[in-house]
Amino acid sequence: RGPLPTALSAVSGTDEHGLKIQQAAAAAGTSPPELCQRVSGLFRQALAQAAVSFTDFIRTSEPHHQRAVRHFWGALQDGGALYKGCYEGWYCTPEECFLPESQLAERRDAQGRPCKVSLETGHQVHWTKEKNYMFRLSAFRDPLRDWLRDNPHAIAPDPFYQRVLRWLEEDLPDLSVSRERSRLQWGIPVPSDPTQTIYVWVDALVNYLSVVGYPETHGEWWPAAHHVVGKDILKFHAVYWPALLMAVGLAPPERIFVHSHWTVRGQKMSKSLGNVIDPAACIGQYTLDGFRYFLLRQGVPERDCDYYDEKVVKLVNSELADALGGLLNRSTALSINPSNTYPCFSESCFPKVLDYREAKGLGRASAEDYELVASVASLPLQVASYFEGFQIYKALECIALCVRQTNGFFQRHKPWKLDRRDPAEQLWLDTIIHVTLECLRVYGTLLQPVIPHTADRLLSRLAVEPEERGLSSLTFLPRYDGKPCPFEGRELGPDTGVLFHRLEKPRQRQHQIETKKL
C-alpha cells in the first residue's frame, strides 16, 4: 500500500479490535475476524449507498496498520512515556474505557440486581483490576493546554474546544494503555510482552497515521489532517490522542471537527425504544439526495438535532422540489424561453452601478434586484468558508435564502407578461432569464457535494459541461461586470423533467401501504 494519491484525501474505516468485538463474536457463534469481515463490509456498503466517497477505507485488523501500531508503541516506550503499574476501576466494555465514579449512576440490571452504569450511555460497567502498561498522561496537561491556547481553532465548533479546556483544568490521571492478554486476545500484542494486549483506543487512533504511511512516509501529510468525530469520543481524540502524539515527537492534528447526535422526536435513539432510524430505509423513502440534504441542512454540530419524518418531507419539498425545482422549471419553460437557449444579458436593462440606491431611472432593475446580484456574487466565498469551518448547515441556509430571493426576482418581474414583439421588452425578458439561469448555475455548482444527482441534473439542463462545474473557478454574472459570459447564446441541455419530485407525507404513504396489505 503506497501513499495516498491525491492532494486532498478522505479516509474512513472500521476499528475492529477490543473486548466488545471479542464478546460479540462469541455471542454470535463466530470468530472475531469473520465478524469484522462481515460488519466492515456492511459499513462500506452503507457508505456506497449514501454516495460517500473516500480515498482509503482502513481496517485496523490489516497487517500494515498493525505494523504501524507496534512501531508507535516502540516510540512511546523509547521516549519513556510508558511504565507498568496496577490499575483498577470501573470498565465499560461497549465504550472500551475506564470511567470515574462521577460518570456513573446506580441502576438495576435485567434480573433486578443493583449495578453501576455509564451516566452518558447507560451501559453497565464492571470493576476491573489489572496489571497493565500505563501512559504518563498527567505529564501532558500543560503541553495540551499550551497547544490549545496557541491554536484556538484546533477543535471546532467552539463549545467543544471550551469543553476540552475545562477537562484540562481538572486532574489528568495516567492512562491504562494495555489489557491482560488472558482477558483480551483479539487485539495487537504488546511488543516484547506477550502477556499484554495494546489498548484498543491506542490501536484505533494510530489509524490516522498508518493510513498516511507511518512510520515511513507520513511526513508528507502529517499534521495537516482534519478529524471528524462524534462528541461522545471527544476526549479520546482531543486529549489522549494529542498527548500520545506529543509523546512520540509528533504534532497534534491540524483540526478536530466535532458533531453532535440525532434524537428522534426528542428521545435518544435506542434499540429498546424501537426508535432507531434506518438510513437505508430513509434513502429509499426520501431519495438519496433528499435524505442527504435534510441531514446536512438540519444537522447543527454544536447541539443534538431532532429527527422526525414530517420534518424531512416539509423541508425537502419546500427547498428542493418547490423553490429550486420550481425555479428551474419556470425559467426554462418553452412558453418563457422558446429559443431554449441561455439568452443574452442587456447592460442597458441592468446597468452596473456603484450604489443601487441611486440606480432609479437608469434601467429596468430595481433595488431588490441589485441586492440579489450582490447576495449571489458573494455566495461562493461564503459557502466555501462555511464548508471549511464544518458549518455545512449555514452554507445551505445561505443558498436556500438566495434561492428564495431569486424566486422573488422572477415573480416580481413576471416575464410571462412581457410582450416579445416589443424589442425593449424582449431585451428585458432575456435579461431576467439570463440572471435567473446564472443564479441557478451557481446554486447547482455549490450544491454538488450535498445533492450530487440533483445538482448534476440541474447543471446538465443548463448545458454546463463537466469541466465548467468547479468550485474554484466559479464566477457569477460576468456580463454585469462587462466581461464575456461563455454560456450566453448556448443552447440549453435536454429537458430532464421534474428536478426533484415532491415527497409524500408519511401518513399518506403509511395509509397506502396499509391499503395494499388489505
Q: 386 and 292 share a domain?
A: yes
Q: 246 and 292 share a domain?
A: no
Q: 214 and 292 share a domain?
A: no
pLDDT above 60: residue 315: yes
Residue 432 maps to a domain? yes
Do residues 239 and 245 lie in contact, with contact meaning Cβ atoms separated by under 8 Å? Answer: no
More confident residue, 513 or 233: 233
Q: 314 and 375 share a domain?
A: yes
Q: 249 and 330 share a domain?
A: no
* Percent share of the chain, pLDDT over 70: 95
The single residue listed with the C-alpha cell 422526525 is 308
Residue 281 maps to a domain? no
Which contiguous run of DSSP H or E holds residue 379? helix 367-388
Burial (CB count within 10 angstroms: exposed 0-12, middle 13-18, buried 19+), residue 442: buried
Which CATH number is 356's domain given?
Answer: 1.10.730.10
pLDDT above 80: residue 511: no
Residue 499 maps to a domain? no
> What residue numbers bound the domain in which 16 lies?
11-259
- Pairing state of beta strands 255-259 and 226-230? parallel
- The structural domain count of the chain equals 2
Residue 123 maps to a domain? yes
Residue 329 maps to a domain? yes
Q: 338 and 229 share a domain?
A: no
Q: 236 and 292 share a domain?
A: no
pLDDT above 90: residue 383: yes
Q: 134 and 64 share a domain?
A: yes
pLDDT above 50: residue 339: yes
- Residue 513 binned pLDDT confidence (cut-offs 50, 70, 90): very low
Q: Can you tell me the mean pLDDT for 460-471? A: 95
Predicted pLDDT of residue 356: 65
Q: Can you tell me the mean pLDDT for 383-405? A: 95
Residue 219 maps to a domain? yes
* Distance separating alpha carbons of residues 185 and 181, to the nearest angstrom: 5
Residue 231 maps to a domain? yes
pLDDT above 90: residue 360: no
Question: Reduced to 3 DSSP states, what percent helix, strand and coil does the chain have, rounded to the nearest 5?
Answer: 45, 15, 35
* Distance separating alpha carbons of residues 91 and 358, to the nearest angstrom: 71
Q: 250 and 309 share a domain?
A: no
56, β-bridge pairs: 11
Mean pLDDT check: name the lowest of 265-274, 321-330, 357-366, 406-415.
Answer: 357-366
Q: 348 and 244 share a domain?
A: no
Q: 233 and 362 share a domain?
A: no
Which CATH number is 222's domain given?
Answer: 3.40.50.620
Q: 216 and 342 share a domain?
A: no
Residue 507 maps to a domain? no
pLDDT (tens digit, 9 = 90+) per residue, 236-286? 999 999 999 999 999 999 999 999 999 999 888 887 788 899 999 999 999
Predicted pLDDT of residue 514: 37
